[in-house]
A and B are shown apart, each in its own frame.
Chain A
Amino acid sequence: MQKKISSNPFRGTPEQEAKLKEIIAANKHDKSRLMGVMQEAQGVYGYLPIEVQNMIAEGMEVPLEKVFGVATFYAQFSLSPKGDCNISVCLGTACYVKGSGDIYDELQAELGIGGDECTPDGKFSLTACRCIGACGLAPVLTVNEEVYGRLTKDDVPTILAKYGK
């Protein structure tokens, strides 16, 4: 599947920009460090929107398309912001046979967003992940660092309500 590009507005801060400029300055002598710079940039912003990729391209003196090509090749890079609450649903084998697919669908319906997307208010984002090593609790999802197990899709509204939905 092609990577989704978020239409959420960019909410970068001057502090984040200063941090990114530091990262670029420390690496710009060596173009082969592009990926490392992108990883650190994602650490700062949580994702790599066009504004951030453009700063990286200008700073590292490579075409924007090259940055974008790397960003869309590797699964670790995201083009969507993470919400205040990032919900990650395990679609690993054990969770999946226990019905995590239904939970994932239910979350999309409840939040009105697809996978790898963020709600317009920036509150919730949704991703799918593979096995997180908690198969005994299958099906399992995490909200930020919080783990929820042995779920059915009926549990979804309760969990969301807990986070202010």
Chain B
Amino acid sequence: MDMINCKVNGIAVSVPKGSTILEAARAAGVEIPTLCYMKDINAIGACRICVVEATGARGLATACVYPVAEGMEIKTNTEKVQQARKTTLELILSTHDKKCLSCPRSTNCELQKLCNDYGVTGTEFEGFKPEFAIDDSAPHLVRDNNKCILCRRCVAVCREQFVGILGANDRGIDTHIGQAFKLNLNDTPCISCGQCTVVCPTGALTEKDDTAQVWAAINDPSKHVVMMTAPAVRAALGEEFGGEIGKNVEGKMVAAIRRLGADKVFDIDFGADVTIVEEATELLGRINNKGVLPMITSCSPGWVRFIEQYYPDQLAHLSSCKSPMQMSGAIIKTYYAEKMGLDAKDIVVVGVMPCTAKKYEIKRADEDAAGVPDVDVSITTRELARMIKRQGLNFNALPDEEFDSPLGEDTGAAVIFGTTGGVMEAALRTANDWLTGKDNTEIEFQAVRGAASIKEATVEINGMPIKVAVASGAKAANEIMKKIASGEADWTFVEIMGCPGGCVTGGGQPIHPQYVRDTVDIHALRSKALYDADEAAVLRKSHQSPVVKELYENYYKGEYGCHKAHHDLHTTYVPGKKF
């Protein structure tokens, strides 16, 4: 490979030909501030924050797109550079609402941090300042263009997610991020993945905050409040309190939720175990009865929304199983309500999820086993952190506590649902045991692990080769669906998650600045927390879960997939359209 030698702030560094100044600087251990740049996704040189002095460049060079040349000397932080960045920040602020006090991203805003770093307290450039109506039409997110800095990260990530419903419209001073024909966000084929909220450097795109509903339920003595957490939340919540990325904080998370005032703290993992036995039963049924194959998982509401709108004629491939969260809610409002002598109407079920699309899922039709919505409120990992802060809890000093019974017990198979490939592996463990009639000990299916957006494997179960595929991210989902729709796919079982990497990197997870996302493998760290938990678990197969056994023996009083279980735990899909 041709290498280029250059110097960054006097540090000699050798980088492959074609590298940008930013890449050379990172190789030299020098960080250059950026606002619009996203590694591999967005390099457009739009924000002008990354300008540096470089020999041979006319004027200041935009580090994220300017290629290094042999012998180039780069200075990243001269007086001239600092002045230019300061002016750029003031220009950005001239059209910004500067309402940091009430902004959900305050203290975790990349613009605010840069303004602090460069001593920019306001703007000298008072002039035309457009005012935008806030778009809160969708159940999952709020778009406030008054905080937008036009970096186009959301545009890039939305196109990377294939859907591309966000873009820059009009030109010059009128340029703004929006949807085609000024449609409300809710009238577009947005899949609610929330990836735009993770990459937005400011508070222009945020999850819709539903914490007020949770506080209201907690403060209402007539309500029995059950809060339950998805597997991926425990692998990331600690990051909101300065903890290292991917540290499993399950114990402190449970302790915190209990101290918020929830009557019970359950683990959605029990619902994941139920999902697996129902889904594996459905899959074997389809194989034996020549049903529609491949069967595709239905745990991810972003993915479900994608297929409903983009492939409405392929819905027969979707498993009819509700997602683990919805199954958990359904079981709480039926089995648990009966067991506790509670009226389902008096139970408020709160899902704590790594996901923004869950806010849309709880409003879906046919998700009401007890005649009331299975889940009442769905909040993100970030909203839970907000509640913990408001409650004044010192999160890191909390003791480790355990989930409540009877719906707090789970298996390792359920924990790994939180990362791409996890549902597939959990299902394979169960299918393998059922078909061989044994308690197999070789249970790690490495071929379906890892962050690749599409993984294909042929796994042998009881001597029968089964072709499977695992995809994460809507772009990969689209590739899979193109093959299925054209009839060239020969998979039996496919797992699809709407977000790249699965739930651990979901749209509701803690937000890190872009330079951290560029340089740290957040997906690997959070996934490791889940695989470690799986490895440490005594029970690692869903059908061995004590909750599953109890449910089917004493409540459903029948086989997996029996009539009552089907009524409570399965759903239907509605063909949609894009526009």
Chain A residues near B (Cβ < 8 Å) = 1-3, 5, 50, 53-54, 62-69, 72-73
Contact = CB atoms under 8 A, between A and B. Distances in A.
A2 B175 CA distance: 8
B14 interface: no
B180 A50 contact: yes
Interface string B558-579: 0000000000000000000011
Contacts of B159: 63, 66
A65 B167 contact: yes
B167 A66 contact: yes
Q: How large is the interface on B (under 10, 10 to 19, 20 to 34, 35 or more residues)?
A: 10 to 19
Contact of B164 (A2, A3, A54, A66): A66
Q: Which 9 A-B residue pairings sit nearest by Cβ, starting from the closest?
A: A63-B164, A68-B180, A65-B167, A69-B167, A65-B180, A64-B180, A72-B169, A72-B170, A2-B170
Contacts of B166: 65
A51 to B, nearest CB: 10
B182 A1 contact: no
B492 interface: no
Nearest to A75: B171
B180 A53 contact: yes
Q: Per DSSP, are chain A's interface residues mostly helix, strand or loop, or mixed?
A: helix
A61 to B, nearest CB: 10
B315 interface: no
Given A64-B579, A65-B167, A66-B167, A5 B181 contact: yes
Contacts of B163: 63
A80 to B, nearest CB: 13
Contacts of A62: 164
Contacts of A54: 579
Given A50-B180, A50-B181, A53-B180, A68 B167 contact: yes
Contacts of B176: 2
A56 B343 CA distance: 53
A64 B174 contact: no
Most buried by B among A3, A53, A54, A65: A65
Given A65-B165, A65-B180, A72 B171 contact: yes
A64 B166 CA distance: 10
A118 B43 CA distance: 41
User: Counting chain B CB atoms within 10 Å of each CB, which of A50, A66, A69 scores highest?
Assistant: A69
Interface string B162-190: 01111111110010100111100000100
A54 B182 CA distance: 14
Nearest to B130: A2
A41 to B, nearest CB: 15
26 contacts: A2-B176, A3-B170, A5-B182, A50-B180, A50-B181, A50-B579, A62-B164, A63-B159, A63-B163, A63-B164, A63-B167, A63-B180, A64-B165, A64-B578, A64-B579, A65-B164, A65-B165, A65-B166, A66-B167, A67-B180, A68-B180, A69-B167, A72-B169, A72-B171, A73-B170, A73-B171
Contacts of A1: 174
Contacts of A53: 180-181
B382 to A, nearest CB: 26
A56 to B, nearest CB: 11
A100 B221 CA distance: 71
A54 B179 CA distance: 13
Given A63-B164, A65-B167, A66-B159, 7 more contacts: A3-B170, A5-B182, A53-B181, A63-B167, A64-B165, A68-B169, A73-B170
Nearest to A50: B181
Nearest to B168: A69
B447 to A, nearest CB: 32
A29 B208 CA distance: 40
A151 to B, nearest CB: 31
Contacts of A67: 180
Nearest to B163: A63
Nearest to A3: B170
Interface in B429-467: none
Contacts of B167: 63, 65-66, 68-69
A103 B579 CA distance: 40
Contacts of A64: 165, 180-181, 578-579
Contacts of B180: 50, 53, 63-65, 67-68
Contacts of A72: 169-171
A150 B531 CA distance: 81
A69 B327 CA distance: 41
A6 to B, nearest CB: 10
Contacts of B169: 2, 68-69, 72-73
A14 B263 CA distance: 62
A159 B166 CA distance: 44
A156 to B, nearest CB: 29
A62 B578 CA distance: 12
Contacts of B579: 50, 54, 64
Contacts of B165: 63-65
B177 to A, nearest CB: 10
> A5, A53, A68 — which one has the most chain B CB atoms within 10 A of its CB?
A68
Nearest to B162: A63
A68 B182 CA distance: 10
Contacts of A50: 180-181, 579
B174 A2 contact: yes
Contacts of A3: 170
Contacts of A63: 159, 163-165, 167, 180
A68 to B, nearest CB: 4
B485 to A, nearest CB: 14
Nearest to B173: A1
